[in-house]
Amino acid sequence: MENTFLEQVKKGDRFEFGANWKSFLDSINEHRINNAVESLDAMLGEKNYTGLTFLDIGSGSGLFSLAARKLGFKVYSFDFDKQSVACTKKLKELYFKEDNNWIIEEGSALDVEYIRNLGTFDVVYSWGVLHHTGQMWKALDNADLPVKENGKLFIAIYNDQHLKSKIWLTVKQIYNANMIGRLLVKSFFISFFTLGYFIRDITRLKNPLSRYREYKQQRGMALYTDLIDWIGGLPFEVASPAAIFNFYTEKNYILQKLVTTNHYGCNQFVFKKNFLNSKHTLQ
C-alpha cells in the first residue's frame, strides 16, 4: 500500500492530503473541536450516541473521528495516507490516550475485503474522501457494505459543475505535476480566492475577517487548509446530487438530510439504510 501511494504521488496522480492535514493540526483547539462536534451532531440528529459505532472512512486530520468519540461513539478510523493516519493517532494521543473505544488503522476505501472484515456500524462517515480515490463509484459502493440495517451513511461528494469541473481537473493535474506547477497554481489561486473574497465582502459592507471566523464555526475547519485541498486534491471526481441520490436509493437507502452547493465544493448527504424502502428516483 505504501509503495502504491508513494508511486502515485511521485507520478503526479495523487495529492499528499496527509501533509496538508499535518499543517492543520497545529490550529486545532477546543473551539474548533466543539464546532466539529456540533456540526456532526446537527447532521446526524440523534439524541444519544453513547455506545453506537462510527466508521470514519478517510479520517484525514482525525478531527471528525475525535468529534464522534466526544459524542460518545465507539470509533473506527482508517485512511489510505500514512500521514493522515499519523494525524488521527496524534489527536487520539492528545484527547483519548489509551482509549480502547477508538481504533485507528491504515486502509483503503477501495479494498473490498478490508471493508467487509471491519463488520458493520451504526454510522459510516466519509466527508470529502471518496471522490479522491480514483474510483469514486466503487468507493461509494464499498461505503454501503459496513452500514448496519437502519444505520446511517453520511457522505460529502464534490458537486458536478460540468465544464468548470473539467477545468478544475486540469488545474489539479498541473498542481501535482511538479514543484513549478505547484508554485504557480498555489500562488495564482490563493491570491485569486483571497482577493475575490475580499472584494465580495467589501461590496456587501461585511468585515472581510469575519469570513474566516464564520468558516471555522461551520465545521471547525480552516479555510486555507481546505483551499489547498481543493486546488491540489487529486484524484478528482464529481457527481450531481441526483446521481448520488439515485445510486443509494437503488440500494434501499432513505435520504434524511441533504445540503447542496451551487458551485464548487461538496454536497452533503445523510442516508438511512432500510431494506423495506420503496425505490424512487430524483430527476
**DSSP calls for the chain:** -HHHHHHHHHTTSS--HHHHHHHHHTT--HHHHHHHHHHHHHHH--S--TT-EEEEES-TTSHHHHHHHHHT-EEEEEESSHHHHHHHHHHHHHHSTT-TTEEEEE--TT-HHHHHHT--EEEEEEES-GGGSS-HHHHHHHHHTTEEEEEEEEEEEEB--THHHHHHHHHHHHHHH-HHHHHHHHHHHHHHHHHHHHHHHHHTT--TTHHHHHHHHHHS--HHHHHHHHHH--S---B-HHHHHHHHHTTTEEEEEEE--SSSSEEEEEEEE-TTPPP----
In this prediction, residue 95 has a pLDDT band, given cuts at 50, 70 and 90, of very high
For the ranges 91-95, 177-181, 200-204, the lowest mean pLDDT is seen at 200-204
Predicted pLDDT of residue 215: 59
The domains located in the chain, with CATH, are 2-160+235-273 (3.40.50.150), 163-232 (no CATH)
Q: Is the pLDDT of residue 282 over 60?
A: no
Residue 211 has pLDDT above 80, yes or no: no
Q: What are phi and psi of 167, to 5 degrees?
A: -65, -40
Q: How buried is residue 202: exposed, middle or buried, by Cβ count under 10 Å (0-12/13-18/19+)? A: exposed
Q: Provide the pLDDT for residue 200.
A: 76
Count CB atoms within 10 A of the CB of residue 174.
Answer: 17
- How confident is residue 11, by pLDDT bands cut at 50, 70 and 90? confident
pLDDT of 107 strictly over 80: yes
pLDDT of residue 114: 98
With beta carbons less than 8 A apart as the criterion, state whether 206 and 45 touch: no
Report pLDDT for 206. 78
Evaluate if residue 217 carries a pLDDT over 70.
no
pLDDT of residue 229: 87
Crossing angle of helices 210-219 and 30-44, rounded to 10°: 60
Q: Is 212 a residue whose pLDDT tops 80?
A: no
Q: Give the list of residues 6+ apart from residue 125 with CB closer than 8 angstroms, or none.
A: 40, 54, 55, 56, 57, 64, 68, 154, 155
Report the amino acid identity of residue 214. E
- pLDDT for res 80: 96
What residues have CB less than 8 Å from 203, skipping those under 6 apart?
Answer: none
- pLDDT band with cut points at 50, 70 and 90 for residue 168: very high
Amino acid 108: pLDDT: 97
Q: 277 pLDDT exceeds 60?
A: no
Residue 154 binned pLDDT confidence (cut-offs 50, 70, 90): very high
Determine what percent of the chain is predicted with pLDDT higher than 90. Answer: 69
| pLDDT confidence band for 195 (50 / 70 / 90) | confident
Q: Would you say residue 65 has pLDDT above 80?
A: yes
Comparing C-alpha atoms, which of 129, 122, 145 is closest to residue 58? 129
Phi-psi region of 46 (alpha: psi -120 to 50; beta: other; left: phi over 0): beta
Q: What's the pLDDT score for residue 27?
A: 84
Residue 16: CA count within 13 A, CB half-sphere: 16
Q: Count Cα atoms within 13 angstroms, Cβ side, for 270.
A: 17
pLDDT band at 213 (very low <50, low <70, confident <90, very high): low
What is the average pLDDT across 198-225?
70
Indicate the average pLDDT of the chain: 90
Of 103-112, 203-212, 258-267, 268-277, which gets the smallest average pLDDT? 203-212
Burial of 103 (0-12, 13-18, 19+ CB in 10 A): middle
